[in-house]
Amino acid sequence: MGENEREERSFAEKLKFALNKGDVTTFKRLVKGGVDVNAKFWYKSTLLHEAVAIGNTEIVTLLLQNRAEVNAANDDGRTPLHIASRAGREVIVDALLQSGARVNACTVDGQTSLHVAVWQGRENVVRYLVAAAADVNVQDGDGWTALYWAAKLNYLEITKTLVEAGAKLNFTVKNRGRSALLEAVDKGHLVLAEYLVRQGADVQIIAQGETVGSLLMKNVHIPPDVIMRTADFFINAGYVIGKDQCMSIVRKQKRLIENSDFLQWIDNRQKEVLPLANLCRICIRKYLIDCSDGRRISPLIRNLPVPKLLLDFLEFGRQSPSESESVT
């Protein structure tokens, strides 16, 4: 390293020291004096990486104004936007996006800023990223989408934001073949699971022999009455309980095999033929799911030229059109 390089490095270290101390005055003086704002430090991080991690908005702004590289990536491929998104620093996320941050830049393991924001449950940051045209269907190195993360961690509001932004509901992860719906059911996140089904998630997906029904019954934390109520909803959405090996699962669950109400329910459900109205709903929703390219079907339902009573029925707002109500 030559004398000039050593001197430049010394000034860059002073700049970093001022940053870590929060000494904005010294930082401004050094930047004004021409110190390189894009100098690389440990792990190839830059001053902008460091300022974002610390959360010093004033210094972040100063760096951006002095042409700090907004898309600089460290050895992991993480950009300042990844760091800000993970930490939930909304103001900094906005500043980076306004300065040209690539919203879909990926780390070496394939994660975007949206992935890490969802992972940490940063609802407002997720909204910022989606508004900035983040790709909601990018799969990381394991095949996980942002929606899969949200379903796994029970982030209902984030799930809604992603679905409304066009997240595909039935992507399956590479290593397990599970969809977001199967993961939500397995973890017992049933409100989120029902939301996904209402939006068009496929209740017939099978992953390594597991179905929505088998995962529901294997979850020892879900009471039998909740299993029955949730399974009823899945059945009305197209899950065929008669094709599932439910009794082999029930026999291994003492709390279920000793519950007479549950045994009666499952026996009735396996023999039952759904009413024609319910079968028609399943067929119509299946057609709309095929037309939606895997995205939510609620906008398609609302555009159907049918009475509101039937629209509500198709969206599971009611169990069936009442015989006493007019549908004309």
Instruction: Look up the pTM and report it.
Output: 0.91
pLDDT per position as a tens digit, 28-86 = 999 888 888 998 888 889 999 999 999 999 999 999 999 999 999 999 999 999 999 99
Query: Rg for the chain (alpha carbons), in Å?
Result: 26
Could you state, in order of their start, the residue ranges of all structural domains in the chain?
1-114
Q: What is the mean pLDDT of residues 224-236?
A: 97
Residues 6+ apart with CB under 8 A from 20: 50, 54
- Does residue 177 contact residue 144 with C-beta atoms inside 8 Å? no
pLDDT per position as a tens digit, 191-224 = 999 999 999 999 999 999 899 999 999 999 999 9
User: Residue 146: its pLDDT value, please?
Assistant: 98
- Does residue 48 contact residue 89 with C-beta atoms inside 8 Å? no
Grade residue 326 by pLDDT with cuts at 50, 70 and 90.
Answer: very low
User: Residue 245: its pLDDT value, please?
Assistant: 78
Q: What is the mean pLDDT of residues 285-306?
A: 96
Q: Which two tokens stand for residue 88?
A: 């939930």
CATH of 1-114, one of 3.10.580.20, 3.40.50.300, 1.25.40.20, 3.40.1160.10: 1.25.40.20
User: Residue 140: its pLDDT value, please?
Assistant: 94
